[in-house]
A and B are shown apart, each in its own frame.
Chain A
Amino acid sequence: DQQVKQNSPSLSVQEGRISILNCDYTNSMFDYFLWYKKYPAEGPTFLISISSIKDKNEDGRFTVFLNKSAKHLSLHIVPSQPGDSAVYFCAARNSGGYQKVTFGTGTKLQVIP
């Protein structure tokens, strides 16, 4: 049972344009959401997070939007750069689950120069 879903396994975007990565979840007990970026042969690195009490969080070129009613979140990268090419994982934490964080299957982003 995949509680966090990233339905697009891959995405290609031109440099300078916006990248939008989507994530859907099914568990209404999730209260904290995160995005991680992963390069080959490295562990995932934290990118940005959002609490369920917010609907938007920005950090430089990265913005995460949360739509709780639709159980959907998205990561916007503007402008996209070739160095952003990586696999992006969406993750969610159970409100009562300590460190139990559920990850999606990932979306591979390719930014074309």
Chain B
Amino acid sequence: KAGVTQTPRYLIKTRGQQVTLSCSPISGHRSVSWYQQTPGQGLQFLFEYFSETQRNKGNFPGRFSGRQFSNSRSEMNVSTLELGDSALYLCASSLAGVDYGYTFGSGTRLTVV
């Protein structure tokens, strides 16, 4: 069965621009979480969506937002990009919670110049 698909794989944006990243979860998975990975910081939790509702949110500024559609696909948006937003953004999906398996996509590498 298809895994978690993230698009695009690579992205270069200019400071001040905005960006939208997409995540298609495994078929049947209703929970989608987003993480930011930077060197030395590990994976920082951004937010989690379940059945189109945001269930959890990490400690990121309001420039970071997301949503989930009725087919469980999720998008993450970052507005007014800063150089420090350069990172690997990872999406993970599961049926309902981490106990049921938590599968990551390959990520979107965002570079802000």
Binding site for B on A (CB under 8 A): 4, 6, 32, 34, 36, 41-46, 89, 91, 93, 97-106
A-B contact number at CB 8 A? 64
Which chain A residues border B56 with CB–CB below 8 Å? Answer: 97-100
Are A32 and B104 closer than 8 Å at their CB atoms?
no
Are A93 and B41 closer than 8 Å at their CB atoms?
no
Which chain B residues border A104 with CB–CB below 8 Å? Answer: 42
Which chain B residues border A98 with CB–CB below 8 Å? Answer: 48, 50, 55-56, 97
Are A43 and B104 closer than 8 Å at their CB atoms?
yes
With A43-B106, A45-B104, A46-B103 known as contacts, the answer to whether A105 contacts B42 (CB < 8 A) is yes
Binding site for A on B (CB under 8 A): 4, 6, 31, 33, 35, 40-45, 48, 50, 55-56, 58, 90, 92, 94, 97-99, 101-107
Are B41 and A101 closer than 8 Å at their CB atoms?
no
With A34-B98, A44-B43, A44-B90 known as contacts, the answer to whether A100 contacts B106 (CB < 8 A) is no
Are A99 and B104 closer than 8 Å at their CB atoms?
no
Closest A residue, CB atoms, query B9: A41
Are A46 and B102 closer than 8 Å at their CB atoms?
yes
Closest A residue, CB atoms, query B99: A32
Cα-based distance from A44 to B102 in the complex (angstroms) = 10
Are A103 and B106 closer than 8 Å at their CB atoms?
no
With A43-B90, A43-B105 known as contacts, the answer to whether A89 contacts B43 (CB < 8 A) is yes
Are B90 and A99 closer than 8 Å at their CB atoms?
no
Given contacts A32-B98, A46-B103, A99-B50, 15 further A-B contacts (CB under 8 A): A4-B42, A34-B102, A43-B107, A44-B43, A44-B104, A45-B103, A45-B104, A89-B42, A89-B43, A93-B98, A98-B50, A98-B97, A99-B55, A99-B102, A102-B45
